[in-house]
Amino acid sequence: MRLLINSRHPIITVETPEEARVEALLLDVAAELGVPLYEWSVTTGLGKAHGAPLYNTDSPEQGLANIALIQGDGIFLLKDFARYCDNDKICRRLRDLAEKFRTARRSIVLTAARVALPADLEGSAMPFQLGLPEAEDLLPGVRQVLAELSRDERIAIALDVPAMTQLAQNLVGLPEEEALRALRKSVLERGKADAGLLDAVLETKREALKTEGLIETVRRDASFMDVAGLAHLRDWIAKRKTALTPEGRRFGLVPPKGVLITGVQGCGKSLAARAVAGEWRFELARLDAGALYDKYVGESERRLRKALELAQKLAPLVLWVDEIEKAFASAGSSGDADAGLSQRLLATLLTWMQDRESGVFLAATSNNITVLPPEMLRKGRFDEIFFVDLPNREVRAALFALHLKKRGRDATGFDLAKLAGASEGFSGAEIEQVIVAGLYTAFNAKQQLTTEILVAEIQGTAPLSVTRAEEVQSIREWAKTRAVPAD
C-alpha cells in the first residue's frame, strides 16, 4: 500500500468487507509517510481520521469538492464510494481530481465489499488486495475477545501462550471480524476456554466456510487404512510425506503439488483423494468445481482466485477437487458458449499451480479425463496421473473384509476367497452395496449374514463393467499409455 501511494497512484481500490482493517492499515501507512489521513462516509462527511468532520460534506459531490480544496499531501479514504461513481457528474469529478493528484503524493482509496467502477474510471484505479489475516494478525484480537469474555461472562481461560497461538492459527482462513465472531461463539457454547476449544474453533470455521460457497473444509474422515488395494498410489503418497518434512526439504526433495486420479467408476477415486489428508494429517478442503460458474461476468474468475487464496491460507492443506472435468471440461472444446470462461478459469488454476509455494496439495479426481484440456494433463502440472482400475481378486477379498468389518462383522467367519471369486468385474462401491443389501436380506429372514447370502446378492447384481462394458474398456485403453496404474 505504501508503495502504491508513494508511486503516485491517484485512485486505489480495496475490495473487502473488512473496512476496519483497511482503516488501521491506512493509519499506519499515513503515519509512516508523514501525511494526513482523511476519511469520508455518507453518514459523517469528510474529516481527518479521528477528527471532527467538516460541515456539510456528506453528499458525495460536496465531499469531492472539499478534497479538491485541501492543499498538500494526503490520503483520502472514501467508504462505499464506488456506488456513487455511476453518476456521470461524480465520475467526472473524480477523474479530474485524479488527474491533478498525479503531481503530488495524494491518493484516494475506495473501499467496499464489492467495488465495480465505470470503465472511464477503471483505467486510473489501481486495485489493492487485502489478504486474509495471518495468525499473527489475529492474535491480538483473540486475546482481547478472551479477556472480554473472562471479564463479562466470567469464563475461565485455561490456555497458555502456545495454545493461544494455535487458536489464532486455527482461525486463519476467515476475515478478522468473522474469525473473532466464530471464537466468541465457540467459547460461549462451551462455557470455557480450554484445550478443547482448539477443535471447537476448527469446527465453527468449517461451518462458516461452508456458507461461503466454493471451498468447504471437511473433517478428515479417511486414511489409507480405509482403502483396499491402490498399493502404488498409497506408496507414492507415503513417500511424498517425507518431502514435506523439514529434513526432506533440506535433503533437496521437491514438495509434491498434486495428483490427478482417474479411472473406473466406484473404485475409490474420491476415497483415495480424501485419504491423502488423513495420511499426512493435513487439513482437508473441498473445492466445488461445479459451483464455480456464476451468471455474472467476471464473477467466476474472482471467486476462483479468492478460493485459491483461501486454500493457501489454510496450508498445510489437501485441496480436493472432485470431478474436476465439471469445471474445466469445455476449456478444451471451442465454440461452446462456456468455453471462453472455462479457459480463463483453467488459466487461473494452472498459473496458480505453477507459481504457488508448497503447502497446498491438489488431489483431483476425474471420471472422464478424455474431456479435460491437454494443458492440464501436460507433464509438470500434476506430479502424476493415476488410473484406478477394477479391483483384482486379491483386492476384492480385501474389500469384502474391510467393509464387513466396517459393519461390525467378523470377516474370518466368511469365505473371502469364494466371495472374491464370485465378484469378478465388481467395483469397490458395488461390493460395498452387496454387503448392504445382504444385511437387509439377512435381517428380514431373521438370520445372521452368511457367505451364501452374499454370493446370492452378487449373482443378482449386474455390475457396471458388464452393463457398460464398452465405456469401461475405452477408459482402460485411454489410460494404458497416459496414466500410471494406482495398484
Ligand X SMILES: Nc1ncnc2c1ncn2[C@@H]1O[C@H](COP(=O)(O)OP(=O)(O)OP(=O)(O)O)[C@@H](O)[C@H]1O
Distances (CA, A) of 134 to 138, 167, 211, 305, 408: 6, 12, 21, 18, 44
**402 touching ligand X, by CB under 6 A:** yes
Three-class SS state of 287: strand
Give me the helices (H) in 332-373, please: 339-355
Q: Kindly state the cell numbers that stand for 194.
A: 480450554
**57 touching Mg ion, by CB under 5 A:** no
Give the Cα separation of 95 and 99 in Å (integer).
Answer: 6
**269 touching ligand X, by CB under 6 A:** yes
Of these, 271, 346, 390, 439, which contacts ligand X (CB under 6 A)? 271
Distances (CA, A) of 408 to 71, 368, 401, 420, 439: 79, 35, 11, 20, 11
**432 touching ligand X, by CB under 6 A:** yes
**427 touching Mg ion, by CB under 5 A:** no
Residues numbered 183 to 242 that lie near ligand X (CB under 6 A) are: 227-230
Comparing CB distances to ligand X, the nearer of 227 and 449 is 227
Give the Cα separation of 176 and 132 in Å (integer).
Answer: 8
Of these, 256, 266, 438, 463, which contacts ligand X (CB under 6 A)? 266
- State the binding partner of 111 from ligand X, Mg ion, none, CB within 5 to 8 A by kind: none
Piece of 3-11, 124-132, 239-247, 424-432 that binds ligand X (CB under 6 A): 424-432
Comparing CB distances to ligand X, the nearer of 129 and 392 is 392
Q: Kindly state the cell numbers that stand for 196.
A: 478443547
Of these, 124, 270, 343, 465, which contacts ligand X (CB under 6 A)? 270
The dihedral built from the CA positions of residue 139, 141, 145 and 147, taken in this order, carries a sign that is positive
Of these, 124, 270, 343, 465, which contacts Mg ion (CB under 5 A)? 270
Nearest to 455 by CA among 436, 475, 434: 434
**463 touching ligand X, by CB under 6 A:** no
Nearest to 409 by CA among 453, 444, 445: 453
Comparing CB distances to Mg ion, the nearer of 166 and 368 is 368
Comparing CB distances to Mg ion, the nearer of 201 and 479 is 479
Of these, 41, 348, 358, 367, which contacts ligand X (CB under 6 A)? 367
Contact set with ligand X (CB under 6 A) = 227-230, 265-271, 365, 367, 399, 402, 428-429, 432
Contact set with Mg ion (CB under 5 A) = 270
